[in-house]
Chains A and B, each alone.
Chain A
Amino acid sequence: MNHPDLDELIGAEVSGAERDRLRHAHELLVVSGPPPEVPPLLERGPTLAMTLGRPRGQVRRRAALLLAAAVAVGIVFVAGYASGNQSAGTSVTVVRTLSLAGSGFAKNASAVLEVQPADAAGNSPMTLVARGLPAPPTDGYYAVWLVRNGKPWGSCGEFVADGVSRTISVRLTAPYQLQKGDSWVVKLWVPGAQGFGRTVMTPVSA
């Protein structure tokens, strides 16, 4: 990719030491490359497991029995915490993860769709974490569609983006009995448009 030219970026209004400072920041941006897309699990925040370690310098040798007991207590604590979290909806079992990339209107967007097991009634909860989605045109919205046999099968829900938040996370539901080979796309629906709207995000090939 061609790197942008500083003169084009900031014009000729800045000069002297300040321009040198901006040039330095510009050169570091060019060298560093874009920041990576952070996986949804990491976006959610630190995990309990990260904070279970004891501070260095405070570790003391203990009798083997006491250590074993502490580990056992820890396992029970983690299991209990995980169980509690699951019931509160913050820990999820994921049966399918799909990466999507934007095109056209949403060409800078990317997303990860996580599909959870269906409930007793047959609804499969899903979470879509999207980054870089622009705000849809007035009264427009995005819709996540199940694709089966290469064709749109049914809607799994709608959402909007404000175009300012870097990452948005929305909960959706697939009210269908999912099959092997099912996939999903994100469409942009604009009132007055013909058909089901334009497809703006499609799965990324593994």
Chain B
Amino acid sequence: MELAVAAPHLRPVPVDREAVSPDAADAELLARVGERDREAFEQLYHRYVRSVFGLALRRLGDRGRAEDAVQEAFAAIWRSAASYRPERGPAAGWLYAVARNAIIDRFRKAGDPVAEVPELVSAEAGPPERAEASFVSWRVHRALETLSPREREVIELAYWSGMSQSEVAAYLGIPLGTVKTRTRSALAHLADVLEELA
């Protein structure tokens, strides 16, 4: 029988601070995390948890180990946030570097070999290409978090369900033209966010 105890999760603690805007930029959130603002940390966490988990999964090849690595990565982000300098580059790149290092460090310290999981681009790709592919996935998955549920739905169905646009329209019960409009809008939104994260 499996027995596991979940770690306690953060709860909002009243503090004398200005509330964090849901639209706050990543850099602003990081600055507040650097001042030990848990609300900002929680917001940043939800923006990036999928990207961090995806990165850990690609590096480690195991969901259980990846889950542990995510904990380590966010602990590292919490500890290091005050060292982020916006003038040196976008927050997404800084977060990627901290998370990636934490994921690798954790398993090196534990003496656990880091799996050489082929990246999605090509099994033949060398380390620079694999690093680039990891960062692309990181940015794309982060950007997907910014889409509205309706936009994200058409993107996920169009790219990863194997459905044609007509099938997506039938599945969602909306006109084909609406699917195309929504897809255009979603791609434009993604393009905007990806430019910001680059």
Contact = CB atoms under 8 A, between A and B. Distances in A.
Nearest to B35: A55
Q: Which of A1, A10, A43, A78 has the most CB of B within 10 A?
A: A10
A78 B8 CA distance: 8
A31 B134 CA distance: 10
A49 B74 CA distance: 10
Interface size bracket, B side: 35 or more
Interface string B153-191: 101111111101100000000000000100110011011
Contact of A90 (B11, B74, B184, B191): B11
Contact of A34 (B2, B36, B82, B159): B159
A36 B71 CA distance: 16
Contacts of A51: 10, 36, 38, 41, 75, 78
A42 B83 contact: no
B148 to A, nearest CB: 9
B71 A47 contact: yes
Contacts of A95: 1-3
B9 interface: yes
Contact of A93 (B3, B153, B161, B191): B3
Contacts of B8: 47-49, 78, 81-82, 85, 90-91
Contacts of A9: 158, 165, 180, 183-184, 187
A108 interface: yes
B4 to A, nearest CB: 5
B1 A91 contact: no
B7 interface: yes
Interface in A153-167: 164-166
Interface stretch (A21-29, A66-74, A184-192): A21-29
A97 interface: yes
Interface string A39-68: 101111111111111111100000000000
Interface string A1-43: 1111000111101100010011011101111111110110111
Contact of A108 (B57, B70, B157, B164): B157
A25 B194 contact: yes
B10 A10 contact: no
B37 to A, nearest CB: 10
Contact of B50 (A8, A26, A35, A46): A35
Nearest to B190: A25
Contacts of B153: 164
Contacts of B150: 164
A181 to B, nearest CB: 12
B103 to A, nearest CB: 14
Nearest to A97: B2
A36 B188 contact: no
A94 B71 contact: no
Nearest to A13: B184
Contacts of A75: none
Interface string B41-69: 11001100111011001000001000100
B188 A91 contact: no
B13 to A, nearest CB: 11
What are the 5 tightest A-B residue pairs by CB atom distance, in nearest-first order? A32-B140, A47-B7, A32-B137, A25-B191, A34-B160
Interface of B: 1-11, 34, 36, 38, 41-42, 45-46, 49-51, 53-54, 57, 63, 67, 70-71, 74-76, 78-83, 120-121, 133, 136-137, 139-141, 144, 149-150, 152-153, 155-162, 164-165, 180, 183-184, 187-188, 190-191, 194
Given A48-B9, A97-B4, 4 more contacts: A22-B184, A22-B191, A29-B159, A34-B156
Interface of A: 1-4, 8-11, 13-14, 18, 21-22, 24-26, 28-36, 38-39, 41-57, 78, 81-82, 85, 90-97, 108, 164-166
